[in-house]
Structure 1
Amino acid sequence: MEFSSPIGTLWLDANEVGLTEVSFFPIEGHQTNQWTEQAAQELSAYFNGTLKQFTTPLSFEKGTVFQRKVWDALSDIPYGETRSYLDIAIAVNSEKAVRAIGQANRNNPLPIIVPCHRVIGKNGKLTGYMGKTSEEGLSIKSYLLELENIL
């Protein structure tokens, strides 16, 4: 399902269990079903500033056991708050795996809904977003953090 947002077009995909992907790029063979419809409604409310917690069921079809632990930890970061990569590493009992946390964030199949944008550097600085340190990735991350009144 294609969804227009203030940060550009997003593509949503789901299986019969829940939402499987939110992408900034087209998803071949994506499905539209009750979960993509619910996610689109919730994303609209999020971007309008009226939704602080997503309730669409999620279904992770990709990712290692470690990545899924990281994504679970990201889901625990409350709206309007941030955590450092070290905070997430400690939360998943892998204090020395800060770089691996960054890689798990980069591979997050459900950005925004699983809020990897809420993870910042230990020094409080923004780091990459969507696997990019480019201006585009950082401007999207900044927008999302500003939307949540973090910046």
Structure 2
Amino acid sequence: MTDEDYYPQIQTHLRAEAAQMGKHYEVFYSLENTIRQHITEILSSESEDWWTTEYIPGQIKKDCEKRKKTERESGITPRSSDLLAYSNFGELSEIIKANWGIFAQTYSNVKAVERVMGTLNTLRLPIAHCSPLAEDEVVRLQLAVRDYFRLME
């Protein structure tokens, strides 16, 4: 099966819109996984078993474990053996805030982290749910990504 088998049946304007949105998905995918990697590196430097100790809020642990179990029971290839891969963007923000004493060495201000991560989480929704981003929201995404990395200066 190839794209050519089905693509001709999809309207041209939808394919063009998808190509435009693909750029935004790539940015968000890269950023979200960069944040996961950063959390893992920071918490691993604190404790080898950081996932099972007090570093991850209990509800986030339960939700990630539930998502992994649901995925495993569906019979599809698991996305990862790493439970943090099953966290959503909002949960990543909560992990940072719950461990602010550790992450304060990396980020400039907890309120700024909340604001930037909240903006990114809001912008994530249309990207993840196959809706186009308005022109202003494309600019807002670009600025929010810049703001995130500025928090680390």
- TM-score (norm: length of structure 2): 0.25
* TM-score normalised to structure 1 length: 0.25
Between Structure 1 and Structure 2, the one with more strand by share is 1
Higher helix share: 2
The structure with the largest alpha-carbon Rg is: 2
